[in-house]
Amino acid sequence: MDISLIWKAVIALGGIALLFGILLAIASVRFRVKTDPRLNDLIDALPGSNCGACGFPGCEAAAQAVLDGKAGVDVCIAGGKNAAAGIAEVMGVAATSATRGVALVHCQGGINETATRAIYQGIDSCAAMDKTAGGSKACPYGCLGLGTCRDACPVNAIYLDEDHRRCVKRERCTGCGLCVEACPRGLIEIVPRDQEVLAVCKSRDRGKAAREICSVCCIACKKCEKACESDAIHVVDNYAVIDYDKCTQCGKCIEACPTDVIVKVPTSSDRAAVGSSS
Amino acid sequence: MNEVYRYFLIFLGALLVYNILLIRFIALCPLIGVSTQVETSIGMAMSVLFVMTMSTAASWVAWNYVLTPLHVGQFLYIPVFILIIASLVQFTEMVIKKTSPPLYRAMGIYLPLITTNCAVLAAATEAVKPGFLKLNVVYNFSLPEALIYTIGVAAGFGLVIVLFACIRERLETAPIPHSFRGAPIAFIIAALMSLAFMGFANLLGL
């Protein structure tokens, strides 16, 4: 082997490397994009689950929006107080905490409570089941129980209990609202976290018809309306709706309700689907 | 042989007969990794097309004007090509980040992935090093031939990865046994597609 080959190899590789090195050095100066050093700190302060509840595509976009002044320190709904405090620290302003809601599934009907009228064997998704002749459940308004909301949840806060009811782990739920969009029946709502008295049925059927197919349905008897002292609960479209601004959480409607549709969370009774955390 | 027909054969050979993913099994990582959605697979395919064409052009120049005159090509081609590809990807990333933020958002996340992609190195090596590829219409590539070959390879990569992503999107709702979900069924699909592509063997005498 010719020893000069080594020199040639060194020159060839070294020369090309030097050429590209210079090219990259020039490019890094000429094509520099000024990024705010605070951007990375902001991204660290956000939860990073990219849920999109803030209305920006992902946490990085939200951080950029905060820098641009398009969003305040309370931009992150999911991160709540911690994220707001982190962002406030980076931006050097006082924290105003975001109100952080929690998801509520407006149905307690599992396989033991609600009648089944068919057996469904199609695509494993609530939307598909809903389109297929209204699904297997006798109640046309209730939870289908296949778990599209569970799959949509970025923090695994929704799970299926042994009776095929959707339950929310309140301490995990960030209130991002992705499950609200996922549910084909519109049963999920983000409610204030400190609201503990909740009405959980959205059946528009009249009392008798609803009662025949489900043991935990609102029968629109209006007993809760009469029991309420602060005019906070009303029957609309044949189901009870609580006005969370007026509700004092006295619990009188819970005692009045004959079908256990109004519940207080967290409950000790395992009958109540909402708020059970295990 | 007619010049245009020769170019066509080179392109077809790279696209179908010697398809980089399904016949030669190079760059299987993006085939499995970025094929869960059609949208991302199109982004990846476009980025690969862009980087591959550019790196082959640069590698061709380096091979014919630096490595061959110095007689060091036979053992130095891999480090030199890797160097060229990595630097060019880095350079491209900087340029498009500055000049075109929308393009950067569409392509930016794939560029670092492509830096170490074996398909890019394979395409550059085959299109530049004489005799490396057993394509019987061409032995020593000229620059246009090398570029047409590379575009064919990238188009073959894009074709397969987009088809694969379409199939995988349908698989999302298919009743697959639990233990086969995800990567296992993807490998089975890849094998079946590969069998189908082997039907192109000897097409037009390639």
The total number of residues shown for chain A amounts to: 278
Min distance B76 CA to chain A CA atoms (Å): 7
Would residue B140 count as lying in a domain? yes
Residue B176 lies in a domain: no
The reply to whether B74 touches chain A by the CB within 8 Å rule is: no
Q: Which of B61, B71, B74, B111 best probes binding to A when mutated, by most A CB atoms within 10 angstroms?
A: B71
Q: Which domain holds residue B67?
A: 26-166
Select the residue from A2, A3, A4, A8 to test the B interface by mutation, using most B Cβ atoms within 10 A.
A8
Q: Please check whether residue B180 lies inside any domain of the structure.
A: no
Task: Determine whether the interchain pair A9/B62 forms a contact, defined as Cβ–Cβ distance below 8 Å.
Answer: no
Probe site for chain A from B59, B81, B82, B87 (most A CB atoms < 10 A): B87
B40 within domain boundaries = yes
Weakest-pLDDT range from A50-54, A135-139, B14-18: A50-54
The fold of A38-91 is 3-methyladenine DNA Glycosylase II; Chain A, domain 3 (1.10.15)
Minimal CA–CA distance to B6: which of B206, B196, B154? B206
Report pLDDT for B107: 67
User: Least CB-CB distance to B71: which of A8, A15, A32?
Assistant: A8
- A94-128 CB burial, b ≥16 within 10 A, e <16: ebeebebbbbbbbbbbbeebbeeeeebeebbbbeb
Distance from CA of A8 to the nearest CA of B (A): 6
Q: pLDDT by residue (tens digit) across A69-99?
A: 777 777 787 777 778 888 888 877 765 555 6
The pLDDT of residue B1 is 63
- Domain-embedded: residue B105: yes
Q: From the CB of residue A69, how many other CB atoms can be counted at a distance below 10 Å?
A: 8
Q: How many CB pairs under 8 A join A and B?
A: 55
Please give the CATH number for the structural domain made up of A100-191: 3.30.70.20
Q: Which residues of B touch A13 (CB under 8 A)?
A: 76, 79-80, 83
Token pair recorded at residue B189: 């699909």
CATH 3.90.400.10, domain A194-271, yes or no:
no
Q: How confident is the model at residue B195 (pLDDT cuts 50, 70, 90)?
A: very high
Query: Domain-by-domain residue ranges, chain A?
Result: 38-91, 100-191, 194-271
Q: Say yes or no: B61 contacts chain A, CB-CB below 8 A.
A: no
Task: Evaluate if pTM is beyond 0.80.
Answer: no
Give chain B's domain count.
Answer: 1
Do A100-191 and A194-271 agree at the fold level? yes
Query: Looking at A6-15, A262-271, B77-86, B149-158, which range is the least confident one?
Result: A262-271
pLDDT in tens, A146-195: 888 888 888 888 888 777 778 888 878 887 888 888 888 888 888 887 78
Above 80 in pLDDT, residue B138?
no
Could you give phi then psi for residue A188, rounded to 5 degrees?
A: -100, 135
pLDDT > 80? residue A269: no
Please report residues of B whose CB lies closer than 8 A to that of A17: 83
Which DSSP category does A116 fall into? B
Residue A275 — very low, low, confident or very high, per pLDDT cuts 50/70/90? very low
The confidence score (pLDDT) of residue B194 equals: 93
Does the beta-carbon distance from A12 to B67 stay under 8 Å? yes
Residue B45 domain flag: yes
Task: Note whether residue B54 is domain-resident.
Answer: yes
Indicate the pLDDT class of residue A272, thresholds 50, 70 and 90: very low
Query: Which stretch, A42-51, A243-252, B101-110, B186-195, has highest mean pLDDT?
Result: B186-195
If one counts every other C-beta atom within 10 angstroms of the C-beta of residue A209, the result is: 15
Q: Say what the pLDDT of residue B193 is.
A: 92
> What is chain B written as a DSSP string?
--HHHHHHHHHHIIIIIT-TTTTS---HHHHHHT-SSHHHHHHHHHHHHHHHHHHHHHHHHHIIIIITTTT-HHHHHHHHHHHHHHHHHHHHHHHHHHH-HHHHHHHTTTHHHHHT-HHHHHHHHHHHSTTSS--TT-SS--HHHHHHHHHHHHHHHHHHHHHHHHHHHHHTTS---GGGTTHHHHHHHHHHHHHHHGGGTTGGG-
The answer to whether residue B8 is domain-embedded is no
Nearest CA-CA distance, residue A203 and chain B, Å: 29
